[in-house]
Chain A
Protein backbone atom coordinates (compact mmCIF):
# COMPACT_ATOMS: atom_id res chain seq x y z
CA UNK A 1 0.00 0.00 0.00
CA UNK A 2 2.82 2.38 0.98
CA UNK A 3 4.70 1.56 -2.23
CA UNK A 4 1.61 2.32 -4.29
CA UNK A 5 1.22 5.67 -2.60
CA UNK A 6 4.85 6.54 -3.10
CA UNK A 7 4.67 5.50 -6.80
CA UNK A 8 1.67 7.75 -7.31
CA UNK A 9 3.44 10.62 -5.58
CA UNK A 10 6.53 10.11 -7.74
CA UNK A 11 4.37 10.27 -10.87
CA UNK A 12 2.81 13.53 -9.68
CA UNK A 13 6.24 15.00 -8.96
CA UNK A 14 7.45 13.99 -12.43
CA UNK A 15 4.36 15.58 -14.01
CA UNK A 16 4.91 18.87 -12.22
CA UNK A 17 8.64 18.85 -12.94
CA UNK A 18 8.05 18.20 -16.64
CA UNK A 19 5.61 21.07 -16.83
CA UNK A 20 7.82 23.58 -15.05
CA UNK A 21 11.06 22.66 -16.86
CA UNK A 22 9.63 22.02 -20.36
CA UNK A 23 11.18 18.57 -20.33
CA UNK A 24 9.35 15.53 -21.60
CA UNK A 25 8.34 13.05 -18.85
CA UNK A 26 10.38 10.22 -20.30
CA UNK A 27 13.73 11.96 -19.81
CA UNK A 28 13.08 12.76 -16.18
CA UNK A 29 15.12 9.95 -14.71
CA UNK A 30 14.35 9.90 -10.99
CA UNK A 31 17.81 8.70 -10.00
CA UNK A 32 20.12 11.09 -11.88
CA UNK A 33 21.22 14.48 -10.58
CA UNK A 34 18.83 17.22 -11.66
CA UNK A 35 21.66 19.18 -13.32
CA UNK A 36 22.28 16.27 -15.70
CA UNK A 37 18.80 16.65 -17.16
CA UNK A 38 18.97 20.42 -17.50
CA UNK A 39 17.39 21.48 -14.20
CA UNK A 40 19.54 24.12 -12.54
CA UNK A 41 19.17 25.29 -8.94
CA UNK A 42 16.81 28.14 -9.83
CA UNK A 43 14.58 25.86 -11.85
CA UNK A 44 14.63 23.33 -9.01
CA UNK A 45 13.31 26.05 -6.69
CA UNK A 46 10.45 26.72 -9.12
CA UNK A 47 9.68 22.99 -9.14
CA UNK A 48 9.68 22.90 -5.33
CA UNK A 49 7.38 25.95 -5.17
CA UNK A 50 4.96 24.38 -7.65
CA UNK A 51 4.96 21.09 -5.73
CA UNK A 52 4.27 22.84 -2.43
CA UNK A 53 1.36 24.67 -3.99
CA UNK A 54 -0.18 21.85 -6.01
CA UNK A 55 0.35 18.98 -3.58
CA UNK A 56 -0.27 21.16 -0.54
CA UNK A 57 2.88 20.05 1.20
CA UNK A 58 5.68 21.89 2.94
CA UNK A 59 9.28 21.29 1.93
CA UNK A 60 11.53 22.67 4.71
CA UNK A 61 14.20 25.04 3.44
CA UNK A 62 16.95 23.25 5.34
CA UNK A 63 16.23 20.05 3.39
CA UNK A 64 16.62 21.73 -0.04
CA UNK A 65 20.38 21.40 -0.13
CA UNK A 66 20.16 17.64 0.15
CA UNK A 67 17.84 17.25 -2.84
CA UNK A 68 19.92 16.11 -5.79
CA UNK A 69 17.44 13.89 -7.62
CA UNK A 70 13.69 13.52 -8.09
CA UNK A 71 13.79 10.53 -5.75
CA UNK A 72 15.41 12.72 -3.06
CA UNK A 73 12.58 15.19 -3.53
CA UNK A 74 9.95 12.46 -3.25
CA UNK A 75 11.61 11.23 -0.04
CA UNK A 76 11.56 14.70 1.50
CA UNK A 77 7.87 15.10 0.65
CA UNK A 78 7.08 11.66 2.11
CA UNK A 79 8.96 12.54 5.32
CA UNK A 80 6.96 15.73 5.69
CA UNK A 81 3.59 14.04 5.38
Chain B
Protein backbone atom coordinates (compact mmCIF):
# COMPACT_ATOMS: atom_id res chain seq x y z
CA UNK B 1 0.00 0.00 0.00
CA UNK B 2 1.28 3.44 -0.89
CA UNK B 3 2.14 5.91 1.85
CA UNK B 4 -0.79 8.03 2.95
CA UNK B 5 -0.40 11.70 2.09
CA UNK B 6 0.03 14.11 4.98
CA UNK B 7 -1.40 17.61 5.27
CA UNK B 8 -1.22 20.34 7.90
CA UNK B 9 -4.61 21.24 9.38
CA UNK B 10 -3.55 23.28 12.40
CA UNK B 11 -0.57 25.13 13.79
CA UNK B 12 0.59 27.34 16.62
CA UNK B 13 3.62 29.39 17.58
CA UNK B 14 4.76 31.11 20.76
CA UNK B 15 7.82 33.26 20.18
CA UNK B 16 9.66 36.29 21.50
CA UNK B 17 8.32 38.38 18.61
CA UNK B 18 4.72 37.21 18.86
CA UNK B 19 2.61 34.99 21.09
CA UNK B 20 0.67 33.55 18.16
CA UNK B 21 1.67 32.38 14.70
CA UNK B 22 0.01 35.31 12.99
CA UNK B 23 1.51 37.92 15.31
CA UNK B 24 4.92 36.32 14.79
CA UNK B 25 4.50 36.58 11.00
CA UNK B 26 3.53 40.24 11.20
CA UNK B 27 6.56 40.97 13.39
CA UNK B 28 8.79 38.99 11.05
CA UNK B 29 7.83 40.82 7.90
CA UNK B 30 7.86 44.20 9.60
CA UNK B 31 11.47 43.64 10.66
CA UNK B 32 11.06 43.28 14.40
CA UNK B 33 13.91 41.79 16.39
CA UNK B 34 13.33 39.94 19.67
CA UNK B 35 16.80 40.50 21.13
CA UNK B 36 17.23 42.35 24.43
CA UNK B 37 19.60 42.29 27.43
CA UNK B 38 19.45 38.83 28.98
CA UNK B 39 17.39 38.39 32.15
CA UNK B 40 17.03 35.75 34.83
CA UNK B 41 20.50 34.28 34.80
CA UNK B 42 21.98 32.88 38.01
CA UNK B 43 25.19 34.74 37.10
CA UNK B 44 26.17 38.22 35.84
CA UNK B 45 26.23 38.79 32.10
CA UNK B 46 26.10 41.73 29.75
CA UNK B 47 24.91 39.44 26.96
CA UNK B 48 21.83 39.53 24.79
CA UNK B 49 19.12 36.91 24.31
CA UNK B 50 15.72 36.51 22.69
CA UNK B 51 13.41 35.88 25.63
CA UNK B 52 9.63 35.86 25.59
CA UNK B 53 8.10 38.69 27.59
CA UNK B 54 4.65 38.40 29.08
CA UNK B 55 4.19 34.66 28.86
CA UNK B 56 2.73 33.76 32.24
CA UNK B 57 -0.09 31.34 31.61
CA UNK B 58 -2.61 30.80 34.38
CA UNK B 59 -3.30 27.41 35.87
CA UNK B 60 -0.09 25.68 34.83
CA UNK B 61 2.34 27.31 37.23
CA UNK B 62 3.27 23.89 38.59
CA UNK B 63 5.04 23.02 35.34
CA UNK B 64 8.46 24.22 34.23
CA UNK B 65 8.57 26.91 31.53
CA UNK B 66 9.46 24.54 28.67
CA UNK B 67 6.48 22.35 29.53
CA UNK B 68 4.26 25.44 29.79
CA UNK B 69 5.32 26.47 26.30
CA UNK B 70 4.63 22.94 25.03
CA UNK B 71 1.23 22.72 26.75
CA UNK B 72 0.04 26.06 25.37
CA UNK B 73 1.47 25.32 21.93
CA UNK B 74 -0.21 21.92 21.61
CA UNK B 75 -3.48 23.34 22.91
CA UNK B 76 -3.43 26.21 20.40
CA UNK B 77 -2.59 23.91 17.48
CA UNK B 78 -5.36 21.45 18.38
CA UNK B 79 -7.86 24.30 18.70
CA UNK B 80 -6.79 25.63 15.30
CA UNK B 81 -7.39 22.23 13.69
CA UNK B 82 -10.97 22.11 15.03
CA UNK B 83 -10.85 18.37 15.59
CA UNK B 84 -13.79 16.66 17.18
CA UNK B 85 -13.31 15.98 20.87
CA UNK B 86 -12.81 12.23 20.59
CA UNK B 87 -10.10 12.54 17.95
CA UNK B 88 -8.36 15.36 19.81
CA UNK B 89 -8.21 13.38 23.04
CA UNK B 90 -6.53 10.41 21.35
CA UNK B 91 -4.02 12.35 19.29
CA UNK B 92 -0.37 11.28 19.67
CA UNK B 93 1.89 14.12 20.81
CA UNK B 94 5.52 14.43 19.72
CA UNK B 95 7.57 17.17 21.35
CA UNK B 96 11.03 18.01 20.05
CA UNK B 97 13.32 19.62 22.58
CA UNK B 98 16.91 20.23 23.49
CA UNK B 99 16.63 20.87 27.20
CA UNK B 100 13.12 19.65 28.04
CA UNK B 101 12.30 20.76 31.59
CA UNK B 102 15.38 19.22 33.02
CA UNK B 103 17.82 22.11 33.05
CA UNK B 104 15.60 24.98 32.11
CA UNK B 105 12.98 24.51 34.77
CA UNK B 106 12.47 23.65 38.31
CA UNK B 107 15.52 21.50 38.76
CA UNK B 108 17.90 24.40 38.31
CA UNK B 109 16.13 26.26 41.11
CA UNK B 110 15.81 23.57 43.71
CA UNK B 111 18.00 23.28 46.70
CA UNK B 112 18.54 19.67 45.73
CA UNK B 113 20.27 20.78 42.56
CA UNK B 114 22.33 23.34 44.38
CA UNK B 115 23.46 20.60 46.71
CA UNK B 116 24.19 18.29 43.81
CA UNK B 117 26.15 20.95 41.96
CA UNK B 118 28.12 21.90 45.04
CA UNK B 119 29.52 18.41 45.14
CA UNK B 120 27.89 17.14 48.31
CA UNK B 121 28.34 13.43 48.26
CA UNK B 122 25.10 12.31 49.82
CA UNK B 123 22.05 14.06 48.41
CA UNK B 124 18.62 12.74 49.13
CA UNK B 125 16.23 13.30 46.26
CA UNK B 126 12.94 14.43 47.75
CA UNK B 127 9.98 12.80 46.00
CA UNK B 128 7.63 15.69 46.58
CA UNK B 129 9.45 18.51 44.84
CA UNK B 130 9.82 19.24 41.18
CA UNK B 131 13.37 17.98 40.91
CA UNK B 132 11.94 14.51 40.41
CA UNK B 133 9.08 15.61 38.23
CA UNK B 134 11.43 17.35 35.80
CA UNK B 135 14.34 15.07 36.37
CA UNK B 136 14.19 13.28 33.04
CA UNK B 137 13.97 14.21 29.40
CA UNK B 138 10.49 12.95 28.52
CA UNK B 139 8.82 15.03 31.22
CA UNK B 140 7.85 17.60 28.57
CA UNK B 141 5.57 15.38 26.48
CA UNK B 142 4.28 13.85 29.67
CA UNK B 143 3.32 17.31 30.96
CA UNK B 144 1.31 17.95 27.77
CA UNK B 145 -0.52 14.62 28.00
CA UNK B 146 -1.10 15.11 31.71
CA UNK B 147 -2.38 18.66 31.61
CA UNK B 148 -4.52 18.42 28.47
CA UNK B 149 -5.97 15.08 29.59
CA UNK B 150 -5.00 13.28 26.40
CA UNK B 151 -4.92 9.52 26.13
CA UNK B 152 -2.68 9.02 23.10
CA UNK B 153 1.03 8.47 22.84
CA UNK B 154 3.41 11.06 24.29
CA UNK B 155 6.90 11.08 22.84
CA UNK B 156 9.80 13.44 23.49
CA UNK B 157 12.23 13.76 20.60
CA UNK B 158 15.54 14.94 22.02
CA UNK B 159 17.60 15.57 18.88
CA UNK B 160 18.66 19.05 20.00
CA UNK B 161 18.40 21.85 17.46
CA UNK B 162 16.81 19.69 14.77
CA UNK B 163 14.26 18.17 17.16
CA UNK B 164 11.29 20.11 15.75
CA UNK B 165 11.81 18.72 12.26
CA UNK B 166 12.51 15.26 13.64
CA UNK B 167 9.23 15.35 15.57
CA UNK B 168 7.39 16.45 12.42
CA UNK B 169 9.02 13.71 10.34
CA UNK B 170 8.31 10.98 12.88
CA UNK B 171 4.76 12.29 13.31
CA UNK B 172 4.27 12.10 9.56
CA UNK B 173 5.39 8.48 9.59
CA UNK B 174 2.59 7.62 12.01
CA UNK B 175 0.10 8.90 9.45
CA UNK B 176 1.83 7.51 6.37
CA UNK B 177 1.80 4.06 7.90
CA UNK B 178 -1.82 4.55 8.85
CA UNK B 179 -1.21 4.06 12.58
CA UNK B 180 -3.49 7.03 13.11
CA UNK B 181 -5.24 9.81 11.21
CA UNK B 182 -3.95 12.81 13.18
CA UNK B 183 -0.84 13.70 15.19
CA UNK B 184 0.34 16.89 16.82
CA UNK B 185 4.08 17.46 16.62
CA UNK B 186 6.60 20.25 16.97
CA UNK B 187 9.02 21.54 19.54
CA UNK B 188 9.43 23.55 22.72
CA UNK B 189 12.33 24.91 24.69
CA UNK B 190 12.59 27.50 27.43
CA UNK B 191 15.47 29.94 27.67
CA UNK B 192 18.28 27.94 29.18
CA UNK B 193 21.11 29.47 31.21
CA UNK B 194 23.10 26.35 30.41
CA UNK B 195 22.67 26.85 26.65
CA UNK B 196 23.51 30.54 27.11
CA UNK B 197 26.69 29.79 29.05
CA UNK B 198 27.58 26.88 26.78
CA UNK B 199 27.36 28.81 23.52
CA UNK B 200 29.34 31.64 25.12
CA UNK B 201 32.11 29.23 26.01
CA UNK B 202 32.03 27.79 22.49
CA UNK B 203 32.48 31.35 21.23
CA UNK B 204 29.41 30.77 19.11
CA UNK B 205 27.24 33.52 20.56
CA UNK B 206 26.65 36.90 18.97
CA UNK B 207 27.66 39.92 21.01
CA UNK B 208 24.51 41.87 20.19
CA UNK B 209 22.95 41.01 16.86
CA UNK B 210 22.49 37.77 14.95
CA UNK B 211 23.47 38.18 11.29
CA UNK B 212 23.06 34.86 9.48
CA UNK B 213 25.06 34.52 6.24
CA UNK B 214 26.60 37.99 6.72
CA UNK B 215 30.36 38.28 6.28
CA UNK B 216 30.49 39.92 9.73
CA UNK B 217 28.37 37.34 11.54
CA UNK B 218 29.58 36.52 15.02
CA UNK B 219 27.21 33.88 16.31
CA UNK B 220 23.71 32.97 17.40
CA UNK B 221 21.40 34.35 20.05
CA UNK B 222 19.79 31.95 22.52
CA UNK B 223 16.03 32.07 22.37
CA UNK B 224 12.95 30.19 23.53
CA UNK B 225 9.52 29.31 22.25
CA UNK B 226 7.30 26.58 20.91
CA UNK B 227 5.48 25.67 17.74
CA UNK B 228 3.28 22.75 16.81
CA UNK B 229 1.66 21.39 13.68
CA UNK B 230 -1.40 19.21 13.47
CA UNK B 231 -0.61 16.68 10.75
CA UNK B 232 -3.46 14.71 9.26
CA UNK B 233 -4.10 12.05 6.66
CA UNK B 234 -5.21 13.95 3.55
CA UNK B 235 -8.33 11.83 3.15
CA UNK B 236 -9.39 12.38 6.75
CA UNK B 237 -8.84 16.13 6.39
CA UNK B 238 -10.79 16.43 3.13
CA UNK B 239 -13.59 14.23 4.48
CA UNK B 240 -14.16 16.31 7.58
CA UNK B 241 -13.87 19.56 5.62
CA UNK B 242 -10.83 20.72 7.56
CA UNK B 243 -9.01 23.86 6.58
CA UNK B 244 -5.85 22.57 4.92
CA UNK B 245 -2.86 24.90 5.16
CA UNK B 246 -0.23 22.92 3.28
CA UNK B 247 0.87 19.44 2.35
CA UNK B 248 3.95 17.86 3.88
CA UNK B 249 5.48 16.73 0.62
CA UNK B 250 8.57 15.11 2.12
CA UNK B 251 11.13 14.93 4.87
CA UNK B 252 14.60 13.53 5.30
CA UNK B 253 16.67 12.73 8.34
CA UNK B 254 20.33 11.92 8.74
CA UNK B 255 22.92 11.67 11.46
CA UNK B 256 26.53 12.10 10.44
CA UNK B 257 27.80 11.85 14.01
CA UNK B 258 30.74 14.00 13.01
CA UNK B 259 31.32 15.90 16.22
CA UNK B 260 29.51 16.74 19.44
CA UNK B 261 29.28 20.47 18.65
CA UNK B 262 30.89 21.23 15.25
CA UNK B 263 29.03 20.53 12.03
CA UNK B 264 30.65 18.38 9.35
CA UNK B 265 32.78 20.91 7.42
CA UNK B 266 31.30 19.96 4.06
CA UNK B 267 27.82 19.44 5.47
CA UNK B 268 27.71 15.77 4.48
CA UNK B 269 24.77 15.01 6.78
CA UNK B 270 23.01 18.24 5.86
CA UNK B 271 23.23 17.30 2.18
CA UNK B 272 21.85 13.86 2.87
CA UNK B 273 18.88 15.27 4.80
CA UNK B 274 18.02 17.68 1.94
CA UNK B 275 18.54 15.03 -0.75
CA UNK B 276 16.38 12.49 1.06
CA UNK B 277 13.65 15.08 1.48
CA UNK B 278 13.58 15.98 -2.21
CA UNK B 279 13.77 12.33 -3.26
CA UNK B 280 10.89 11.34 -1.05
CA UNK B 281 8.77 14.16 -2.43
CA UNK B 282 9.82 13.44 -6.01
CA UNK B 283 10.81 17.09 -6.41
CA UNK B 284 13.85 18.35 -8.30
CA UNK B 285 16.06 21.00 -6.65
CA UNK B 286 15.09 23.62 -9.25
CA UNK B 287 11.43 23.19 -8.27
CA UNK B 288 12.11 24.46 -4.73
CA UNK B 289 10.97 28.07 -4.42
CA UNK B 290 12.37 29.01 -1.01
CA UNK B 291 14.80 27.58 1.54
CA UNK B 292 14.12 28.46 5.15
CA UNK B 293 17.68 27.96 6.35
CA UNK B 294 18.91 26.64 9.66
CA UNK B 295 21.08 29.78 9.46
CA UNK B 296 22.11 30.12 13.07
CA UNK B 297 24.54 32.97 12.39
CA UNK B 298 27.56 31.03 13.59
CA UNK B 299 30.63 31.01 11.43
CA UNK B 300 30.64 27.22 11.09
CA UNK B 301 26.94 26.54 10.49
CA UNK B 302 26.37 29.15 7.83
CA UNK B 303 29.47 28.17 5.86
CA UNK B 304 28.59 24.48 6.05
CA UNK B 305 24.94 25.12 5.14
CA UNK B 306 25.78 27.35 2.17
CA UNK B 307 28.16 24.69 0.89
CA UNK B 308 25.60 21.92 1.37
CA UNK B 309 22.94 23.95 -0.48
CA UNK B 310 25.40 24.58 -3.33
CA UNK B 311 26.15 20.86 -3.59
CA UNK B 312 22.50 19.74 -3.51
CA UNK B 313 21.07 22.52 -5.67
CA UNK B 314 23.90 22.94 -8.16
CA UNK B 315 23.09 25.77 -10.57
CA UNK B 316 19.76 26.47 -8.86
CA UNK B 317 21.58 27.47 -5.64
CA UNK B 318 22.23 30.95 -7.06
CA UNK B 319 18.58 31.65 -7.77
CA UNK B 320 16.49 30.01 -5.02
CA UNK B 321 15.81 32.54 -2.23
CA UNK B 322 17.28 31.60 1.15
CA UNK B 323 16.62 33.32 4.46
CA UNK B 324 17.09 32.72 8.16
CA UNK B 325 14.47 33.96 10.59
CA UNK B 326 16.86 33.32 13.48
CA UNK B 327 18.03 36.86 12.77
CA UNK B 328 14.69 38.08 14.13
CA UNK B 329 13.84 35.63 16.87
CA UNK B 330 17.07 33.90 17.77
CA UNK B 331 17.69 30.20 18.07
CA UNK B 332 14.91 28.52 20.00
CA UNK B 333 16.80 25.20 20.09
CA UNK B 334 14.38 22.25 19.87
CA UNK B 335 11.54 24.59 18.96
CA UNK B 336 13.48 26.34 16.19
CA UNK B 337 12.64 24.13 13.24
CA UNK B 338 9.03 23.75 14.36
CA UNK B 339 8.75 27.56 14.41
CA UNK B 340 10.36 27.61 10.97
CA UNK B 341 7.86 25.03 9.70
CA UNK B 342 5.08 27.40 10.76
CA UNK B 343 6.89 30.28 9.05
CA UNK B 344 7.08 28.19 5.86
CA UNK B 345 3.33 27.54 5.99
CA UNK B 346 2.70 31.27 6.41
CA UNK B 347 5.17 32.05 3.61
CA UNK B 348 3.16 29.72 1.34
CA UNK B 349 -0.07 31.30 2.47
CA UNK B 350 1.13 34.88 1.95
CA UNK B 351 3.36 34.06 -1.05
CA UNK B 352 6.13 36.00 0.61
CA UNK B 353 9.73 35.21 1.59
CA UNK B 354 10.55 36.57 5.06
CA UNK B 355 13.84 38.44 5.37
CA UNK B 356 17.16 37.64 7.00
CA UNK B 357 17.10 40.65 9.27
CA UNK B 358 20.47 42.34 9.99
CA UNK B 359 22.19 40.63 7.07
CA UNK B 360 23.79 43.56 5.23
CA UNK B 361 26.73 42.06 3.40
CA UNK B 362 26.11 38.43 2.48
CA UNK B 363 29.37 36.51 2.71
CA UNK B 364 30.88 36.67 -0.79
CA UNK B 365 32.20 33.13 -0.35
CA UNK B 366 28.66 31.77 -0.51
CA UNK B 367 27.12 31.18 -3.93
CA UNK B 368 23.56 31.30 -2.59
CA UNK B 369 20.92 34.03 -2.83
CA UNK B 370 20.26 35.32 0.68
CA UNK B 371 17.10 37.43 1.03
CA UNK B 372 17.89 40.42 3.23
CA UNK B 373 16.13 43.74 3.82
CA UNK B 374 12.38 43.45 4.21
CA UNK B 375 11.79 40.17 2.42
CA UNK B 376 10.16 39.76 -0.97
CA UNK B 377 6.96 38.57 -2.60
CA UNK B 378 7.43 35.35 -4.56
CA UNK B 379 5.47 32.57 -6.20
CA UNK B 380 5.91 29.74 -3.76
CA UNK B 381 4.82 26.16 -4.34
CA UNK B 382 7.54 24.13 -2.60
CA UNK B 383 9.49 25.39 0.40
CA UNK B 384 12.30 23.53 2.12
CA UNK B 385 13.18 23.99 5.78
CA UNK B 386 16.53 22.87 7.19
CA UNK B 387 17.53 21.94 10.72
CA UNK B 388 20.96 20.82 11.83
CA UNK B 389 22.06 19.99 15.34
CA UNK B 390 24.79 19.02 17.73
CA UNK B 391 25.99 15.50 17.22
CA UNK B 392 25.28 15.71 13.48
CA UNK B 393 21.50 15.28 13.83
CA UNK B 394 20.00 16.73 10.66
CA UNK B 395 16.44 16.88 9.39
CA UNK B 396 14.78 18.76 6.55
CA UNK B 397 11.14 19.00 5.54
CA UNK B 398 9.44 20.09 2.33
CA UNK B 399 6.07 21.81 2.44
CA UNK B 400 3.82 22.30 -0.55
CA UNK B 401 1.25 25.00 -1.12
CA UNK B 402 -2.37 23.91 -0.87
CA UNK B 403 -4.27 25.63 -3.63
**Contact call A23/B403, Cβ cutoff below 8 A:** no
Count residues of A near B (Cβ-Cβ below 8 Å): 12
A1-34 contacts to B (CB < 8 Å): 19, 21-24, 26-27
Q: Could you tell me the distance between the alpha carbons of A70 and B362 in the complex, rounded to whole angstroms?
A: 49
Q: How far is the CB of A31 from chain B (nearest CB, A)?
A: 14
Chain A residues within an 8 Å CB radius of B4: 22
Q: Could you tell me the distance between the alpha carbons of A36 and B402 in the complex, rounded to whole angstroms?
A: 8
Chain B residues within an 8 Å CB radius of A22: 2-5, 234
**Contact call B238/A37, Cβ cutoff below 8 A:** yes
The answer to whether A38 and B7 touch (CB under 8 A), given A22-B2, A22-B234, is: yes
The answer to whether A38 and B402 touch (CB under 8 A), given A22-B2, A23-B234, is: yes
**Contact call B239/A38, Cβ cutoff below 8 A:** no
Choose one: A19, A35, A36, A38; the contact of B5 (CB below 8 Å): A38
Q: Could you tell me the distance between the alpha carbons of A22 and B177 in the complex, rounded to whole angstroms?
A: 12
| B64 contacts chain A at the CB level, 8 A cutoff | no
Chain B residues within an 8 Å CB radius of A35: 403
Closest to B1 in A: A22
The answer to whether A24 and B235 touch (CB under 8 A), given A38-B5, A38-B7, A38-B247, is: yes
Q: Could you tell me the distance between the alpha carbons of A35 and B400 in the complex, rounded to whole angstroms?
A: 13
| A52 contacts chain B at the CB level, 8 A cutoff | no
In the complex, given contacts A23-B234, A27-B238, A38-B247, what are 7 additional A-B residue pairs having Cβ atoms less than 8 angstroms apart?
A21-B5, A24-B235, A24-B239, A35-B403, A36-B238, A37-B238, A38-B5
Point out residues on B near A: beta carbons under 8 Å: 2-5, 7, 234-235, 238-239, 244, 247, 402-403
Point out residues on A near B: beta carbons under 8 Å: 19, 21-24, 26-27, 35-38, 40
Nearest first, the 6 closest Cβ-Cβ pairs linking A and B are A24-B235, A27-B238, A35-B403, A27-B235, A22-B2, A22-B5
